[in-house]
Amino acid sequence: DVKVTQSSRYLVKRTGEKVFLECVQDMDHENMFWYRQDPGLGLRLIYFSYDVKMKEKGDIPEGYSVSREKKERFSLILESASTNQTSMYLCASSLWGRLYSSGANVLTFGAGSRLTVL
């Protein structure tokens, strides 16, 4: 069974702390994504990566950075956490492919990491 595993289900951090959210997938997927989910706003893309050491900004990258040193692992970093970063963070992965490629572009999600910044 394919899996995307997020290291922490719940985290509580203090303002100004550096926070690492880890995501690992075992499906040999090229693409990996970080979204944040907020009530009434749906999911918004923070960053994504389509290859090792490659990254692209999403729609709300401010205050975040990412790291992808290995194909299976994609980390989200909050350099200095702030209260407005309290949210649910979802990691996802997918096969790379042209838009209508069979099996490509279907995202598999992790269970989510709920971060509270006090």
Does 7 participate in binding another protein (rule CB under 8 A)?
A: no
Q: CB of 36 within 8 A of CB of 59? A: no
Shortest Cβ distance from residue 87 to another protein (Å)? 14
Q: Which of 27, 43, 60, 77 binds another protein (CB under 8 A)?
A: 43
Stretch that binds another protein, among 20-28, 60-68, 74-82, 95-103 (CB under 8 A): 95-103
Q: Is 71 a binder of another protein (CB under 8 A)?
A: no
99 binds another protein, rule: CB under 8 A: yes
Q: How far is the CB of 10 from another protein (least distance, A)?
A: 11
- Which is nearest to 29 in space by CA: 54, 50, 6? 50
Give yes or no for a contact between 34 and 74, defined as CB atoms under 8 angstroms apart.
yes
- Which residue's CB is nearer to another protein, number 19 or number 112? 112
Distance of CA 40 to the CA centre of its chain: 19
- What are 35's two structure tokens? 């979204």
Q: Which has the closest alpha carbon to 74: 56, 95, 94, 48?
A: 48
Report how far residue 109's alpha carbon sits from residue 116's, in angstroms, rounded to the nearest whole number. 21
Q: Does residue 109 belong to the site contacting another protein (CB under 8 A)?
A: yes
Chain residues binding another protein by CB under 8 A are: 31, 33, 35, 40-45, 48, 50, 58, 90, 92, 94, 96, 99-100, 104-107, 109-112
